[in-house]
Amino acid sequence: MNEGEQLHLDKLFERLLKARKIFKNKEVLRHSYTPRDLPHRHEQIETLAQILVPVLRGETPSNIFVYGKTGTGKTVTVKFVTEELKKISKKYNIPVDVIYINCEIVDTHYRVLANIVNHFKHETGIEVPLVGWPTDEVYAKLKQVIDMKERFVIIVLDEIDKLVKKSGDEVLYSLTRINTELKRAKVSVIGISNDLKFKEYLDPRVLSSLSEEEVVFPPYDATQLRDILTQRAEEAFYPGVLDESVIPLCAALAAREHGDARKALDLLRVAGEIAEREGASKVTEKHVWKAQEKIEQDMMEEVIKTLPLQSKVLLYAIVLLDENGELPANTGEVYSVYRELCEHLDLEPLTQRRISDLINELDMLGIINAKVVSKGRYGRTKEIRLNVTPYKIRNVFRYDYTIQPLLTISFESGQRRLI
C-alpha cells in the first residue's frame, strides 16, 4: 500500500468515526432482547402469571401450551414472566429453575433430555454427552439431578412443533408425567408453537397433559406494532435520528404480514444499519424500503440454500436457460436441461412428473414463476420464469459443494447443448 492509499484509508476511518451516530443500543432491536415492558401483551402476561403463581405457594403449576403466529410475542412474553417468577421466588425462598430449550436446534428426544441434565452440571457435577448414551439412561440421570432437592423446574420448549414433527412426542410424554416419579422436585412444561395443527401429531394422552392450560397470542395490528417500535426506538436510537415517518412505515409493512413484530423490529434495525453505513444523519423512509429489499433477499437466499439437491439442480437448469435467453421455458425444456445436469453430477434423475411437482414447489416459494398459459388448439403449457437474478443464485451455489461442479457448465453458443 502506497502513502496516498494509506492517507485515503486514514481519512475514510476518520470520516466514519466522525459521522453522526445512529444507534445508542442496537441490541434492543434484536429478537433475543427482553424489554422491561411488553405493550399489548398484558392480558397474556396476566394469564401466564395466574397459571404459574401456585409455585409461590409451594404447589405444582399446570403444564401450559402457548401458540400464535411468528412474531406475536410468545417467546419474549414467556421469558419475561418466567424471569419475574424467578426474581420473586427468591424473595419467598422457593427454589425455581427455568430451563429454556429452542427445539429448532435441540430437536431430538435424547438431546432435549441431555440439555436438561446439563443445565444442573455446575450443581451436580453430572454431565451427559450430546450423543452416545441409551435414552433411558439419560432419562434416569435427569430424574436423579432434578430430584436432588426440593425445587420447581419449569421447562420451556420453544418451537415444540419442530421437535414433535422430527422426533415424535415421546419426550413430551416423559416430561409431562415425570412428577409421578419424583419425590422432592416438581416439573412443569411450557410448550410454545407457531403451528396449532401440530397438536394433530400428539398422542391424546400427551395432548391432554400438555394442554392443561392454553394461552393464545393474536397477531398485532399496525397501531400496536407502532407502540412496540416506539418503545424500543427510545432505547435503541439517539434522539432525533429517526424521521417521523419511519416507525409508521415499518409497522404498516409488518402488519401486512400477519402483524409480525419480529419483522417490524428487523426492518427498523436494518434501516438504521443502512443509514449508518451511508453516513446519513437521519434514518428515512428510503432506508426502510432498502431494508425491506435486503431482508427479502436474505430470506430468499436462505430458502435457496436449504433446498434439497434435486431442487437445486432443477433451479440451476432454469438459471442456465435464463442466461441463454431461453426463458420463459416449458416443463419439457427445463426437464431436458435438468437431465443433462444430473448426468454431470452422476445423479439419478427424477421423472418428469416429479420434476413438475418440484417446479410447483419452487413457484410456491417465490423463487420462480410457473404460470399455466393456453396455446389454443395446442392445449395448455406451463411458462417458467425466474424471480431471482441468476447472479444471486450462482452466489448461493458457490458455497455449496454438492452443486459446485455444475457452475462451470454453460450452453454451447446458439445450441441447447451443455458444455
30 in any annotated domain: no
CATH no. for residue 115?
3.40.50.300
User: What is the structure's pLDDT at 4?
Assistant: 55
Clarify whether residues 246 and 187 are in a common domain.
Answer: no
CATH no. for residue 234?
1.10.8.60
Clarify whether residues 358 and 383 are in a common domain.
Answer: yes
196 in any annotated domain: yes
Q: In what order do the strands lie in the sheet with 152-158?
A: 96-102, 152-158, 186-193, 64-67, 213-216
Angle at 200 between CA 195 and CA 206, to 5 degrees: 100
What is the C-alpha separation between 20 and 188, in angstroms, rounded? 49
Q: Which of 216, 248, 268 is the last residue of a domain?
A: 216
Query: Which residue stretches of 103-241 are H helix?
Result: 109-119, 121-124, 135-146, 160-167, 170-177, 204-210, 222-236
User: What is the structure's pLDDT at 413?
Assistant: 45
User: What is the structure's pLDDT at 415?
Assistant: 47
Clarify whether residues 299 and 311 are in a common domain.
Answer: no
Backbone φ/ψ region at 126: left (φ over 0), alpha (ψ -120 to 50), beta: beta
Q: Answer yes or no: are the C-beta atoms of 319 and 368 closer than 8 Å.
A: no
7 in any annotated domain: no
Identify the band that residue 88 occupies on the pLDDT scale cut at 50, 70 and 90: very high
pLDDT above 90 covers a percentage of the chain that reads 58
Write the CB contacts of 68 (distance below 8 Å, at least 6 apart in sequence).
74, 194, 216, 217, 218, 219
Residue in this structure with the C-alpha cell 400496536, named with its chain if needed: 224
Clarify whether residues 68 and 140 are in a common domain.
Answer: yes
β-strand pairing of 96-102 with 64-67: unpaired
Tens-digit pLDDT profile for residues 40-57: 999 999 999 999 999 999
355 in any annotated domain: yes
Q: Answer yes or no: are the C-beta atoms of 406 and 341 closer than 8 Å.
A: yes
411 in any annotated domain: no
Clarify whether residues 121 and 184 are in a common domain.
Answer: yes
256 in any annotated domain: yes
Q: Answer yes or no: are the C-beta atoms of 301 and 396 closer than 8 Å.
A: yes
Clarify whether residues 274 and 399 are in a common domain.
Answer: no
Q: What is the DSSP string of 370-392?
A: EEEEE-GGG-EEEEEEESS-HHH
170 in any annotated domain: yes
Average pLDDT for 406-413:
73
Clarify whether residues 282 and 364 are in a common domain.
Answer: no
CATH no. for residue 396?
1.10.10.10
Q: Which of 184, 216, 248 is the last residue of a domain?
A: 216
Tens-digit pLDDT profile for residues 345-372: 999 999 999 999 999 999 988 899 988 7
Clarify whether residues 279 and 241 are in a common domain.
Answer: yes
3-state secondary structure of 245: coil
Clarify whether residues 240 and 154 are in a common domain.
Answer: no
Q: Which of 277, 303, 329 is the last residue of a domain?
A: 303
User: What is the structure's pLDDT at 414?
Assistant: 44
Range of the domain at 251: 220-303
Clarify whether residues 244 and 324 are in a common domain.
Answer: no
CA distances from 155 to 55, 61, 77, 146, 198 (A): 14, 12, 15, 12, 19
**How many separate domains does the chain show?**
3
Clarify whether residues 56 and 186 are in a common domain.
Answer: yes
User: What is the structure's pLDDT at 41?
Assistant: 95
Tens-digit pLDDT profile for residues 140-189: 999 999 999 999 999 999 999 988 888 888 888 889 889 999 999 999 99
Clarify whether residues 238 and 329 are in a common domain.
Answer: no
Q: Is 310 exposed, middle or buried (0-12, 13-18, 19+ CB in 10 A)?
A: middle
397 in any annotated domain: yes
